[in-house]
A and B are shown apart, each in its own frame.
Chain A
Amino acid sequence: MARLVDQIHEALTAFANLQTRPALIGGLALAAHKVVRATQDVDFLVDAADADRLHDALLNLGYRCIHRSEDAANYLRGSEGVDFLYAHRPASLRLLAEANERDTGMGRLRVVSAEGLIGFKLQACVNDPKRTRDLEDIRALLRANRGALNMDEVKSYFVLFKREDLLDELLADIAE
């Protein structure tokens, strides 16, 4: 069993004990939307109101906090990491509330929608253009879920980040 599976299972148990219900985002969440790639990133979207309790729980599990702001936090335990985005704006609170639940080999997981995942990947791209992996993830999500996405919602994220031109490029790419 991959050790990431044990790590995620442990995190899910901690979430259940706290009675908080984060949703998976990031590279692993791609799997819920037909895109599977290797990743050691474990990323969750969590209600910002639960951030302090979650912080204490993670420290009790042996993680150390390497960064924390009102929007995000990074925790490390040896080579294992877990990252959180805090939902406190309407868009992220809606995406958290609407996250679908599914049974996996790691336990019962909530996962943000493909549209929301594209939005978060776009946010990551804008914040760090050198991370080309996020752009490739968006392209893969658009390709794998073509015809099934709410394109009005997808477009709204590109408008929010003033990158409508990028969406046009991506859609042209996958049409080829």
Chain B
Amino acid sequence: MNSWPTSPSDTQPLFASEGGVEYRVSDAADPFDAWIQLMEAVEALCPQWPERAHRIDGVFLL
């Protein structure tokens, strides 16, 4: 059996189609619900999150 892609559309990444790129939701949808659903999918795919090391530092003018 040949499982290699046979057409250009087969080569599109499955879960990376949004690729971390933001998308605009419709005005009718609750965007927080959309975020919750998105994060449920993210957590299912990545149950162990990387360690956070970010520090908020720098010049603050606001």
Contact = CB atoms under 8 A, between A and B. Distances in A.
Interface string B28-57: 001111111011101100001111101111
Contacts of B22: 30, 35-37, 136-137, 140
A105 B36 contact: yes
Interface of B: 20-25, 27, 30-36, 38-40, 42-43, 48-52, 54-62
Interface of A: 1-5, 28, 30-32, 34-38, 40-41, 66-67, 69, 71-74, 76, 79, 81, 83, 85, 89, 91-92, 95, 102, 104-106, 109, 119-120, 123-124, 126-128, 136-137, 140, 143-144, 157, 160-161
A34 B48 contact: no
B60 A71 contact: yes
Contacts of A160: 61-62
Contacts of A79: 48-52
Nearest to A123: B62
A33 to B, nearest CB: 8
Chain B facing A: main interface SS: loop
Contacts of B24: 34-36, 140, 143-144
B32 A123 contact: no
26 contacts: A1-B40, A2-B36, A2-B39, A2-B43, A4-B43, A31-B31, A31-B34, A35-B23, A37-B20, A38-B39, A40-B52, A67-B55, A72-B56, A72-B57, A73-B56, A74-B54, A74-B56, A85-B56, A89-B61, A92-B62, A104-B32, A105-B30, A105-B32, A106-B32, A127-B57, A137-B22
